[in-house]
Chains A and B, each alone.
Chain A
Amino acid sequence: MDRPIRVLVAKPGLDGHDRGAKVIARALRDAGMEVIYTGLRQTPQQIVNAAIQEDVDVVALSILSGAHNTLLPKVVDLLKGEGADDILVIGGGVIPEDDIPFLKESGIAEVFTPGTPTTVTIDYIKNNVKRK
């Protein structure tokens, strides 16, 4: 693939802790990807609108507020509604292990918890992008 992978890095929910989102954005950039950053307080609808317009391969959601079980599946559902289920959706942040099975069932492909090296996330994206 000679085109860069396009990734939307988004922060759903109300928490303002964007260190993780920004660090991963920089790391993905340094791995040669095109990163579209949305800023704070994005509703699932806003995230999906951006994902569609930007025609991204990946939506990476960073959330630390504890509202992941509500907001993350909603992003997946709205993407499906737009016929965009070929977009890989991943999540990261303070997400308890117990919640991960539910999130995966809801269509979040992978969840990265605190302490995950950025290289792990980068490799995951490279290996799992659905569109070639």
Chain B
Amino acid sequence: MNLSERLLNGDKRAAARLISMVENKDPKAFEVLKKLYPKSGNAYVIGITGPPGAGKSTLTDKLAKALRNKGKKIGIIAVDPTSPFTGGSILGDRVRMSDLNTDPEVFIRSMGTRGHLGGLSEATQGAIKVLDIYGMDYIFIETVGVGQSEVDIVKTCDTTVMVMVPGLGDDIQAIKAGIMEIGDVFAVNKADRDGAKRTAREIDMMLDFNKADWRPPVELVVAIENKGIEELLQHIEEHKKYLRETGEFEARRIKNSKFEIIDLVQQKMMSVLLDKSNKEDMIDTLSKDVAMRNTDPYTASENVFKKVKMD
């Protein structure tokens, strides 16, 4: 059996291998995804994001368990940063999902950001498709809410849950600009701590500036004690319902598809550009010329653009 047949048959190893191939930009993986794309689109994709230490893994674990109790099949993609210095990473999110590990209807995958230029969303989008075709009902994407590439990932989710914790202090101010627009539902985790209600209030106040039809709810949860999980899930379902009823769902998916196409084209152009120009050391030579003021970056870039013929 080939990979696509195995994937359709629910072969776990095939799914796992395909995700690796997507991550490694193996063209064979994209051939499989081209063929099976019509079979995707059934899974509901939930983004879980927030600052480090907010308890995202534990929250994901509990949400997944709650959905498992309703008989849903769950995929989880946990993204952690890759060290820019060594290219290595330690992916430790599974630690907090230990019980899910033995559940045959749950598929957890850890992913390093690998520092590729924008390629992260390509990898996660591919992984989502694999798990979608593999038959998962819900797919969680868990990632730290810092850095453009991570934000790009959660932007493409159907529902994005922003996880906050009390006591972040000024951090909440610093990240609010980036996060307020992407959170569809807010969870204040570790809500048994002092200041949880205040944090919730602060978020709520910031949401006052949001003029969209959907007013993101703010829920207090204590993930470790499984408190507030059902309520949070309820908000996610309400958001899902809102998307469906208003036609926003299709609009979002169209927007996401556009984003994905542009991203893929960019990736491709970039790799063609680097490939061709590297062969002739063109950029390196031009860089020296620009630095020495022999030419200017505008002319240099125009030259590169002219010389590199896009396929």
Report which A residues bind B (CB closer than 8 A).
2-4, 6, 25-26, 28-39, 42-43, 45-46, 49-50, 52-55, 82-84
Contacts and interface: CB of A to CB of B under 8 A. Distances in A.
B48 to A, nearest CB: 18
Contacts of B24: 2-3
Given A3-B23, A50-B101, A32 B88 contact: yes
Nearest to B18: A55
Nearest to B108: A53
B88 A33 contact: yes
Main secondary structure, interface of B, reads mixed
Given A4-B112, A31-B86, A37 B92 contact: yes
A31 B23 contact: no
B98 A39 contact: yes
Contact of B86 (A30, A42, A84): A30
Interface string B87-107: 111111011101001100001
B107 A53 contact: yes
Interface residues of B, number: 29
A75 B155 CA distance: 39
Given A3-B24, A45-B102, A54-B16, A39 B95 contact: yes
Interface of B: 12-13, 16-17, 19-20, 23-24, 82-83, 86-92, 94-96, 98, 101-102, 107-110, 112, 114
Contacts of A39: 92, 94-96, 98
Given A3-B23, A38-B95, A52 B90 contact: no
A84 B88 contact: no
A53 B78 CA distance: 12
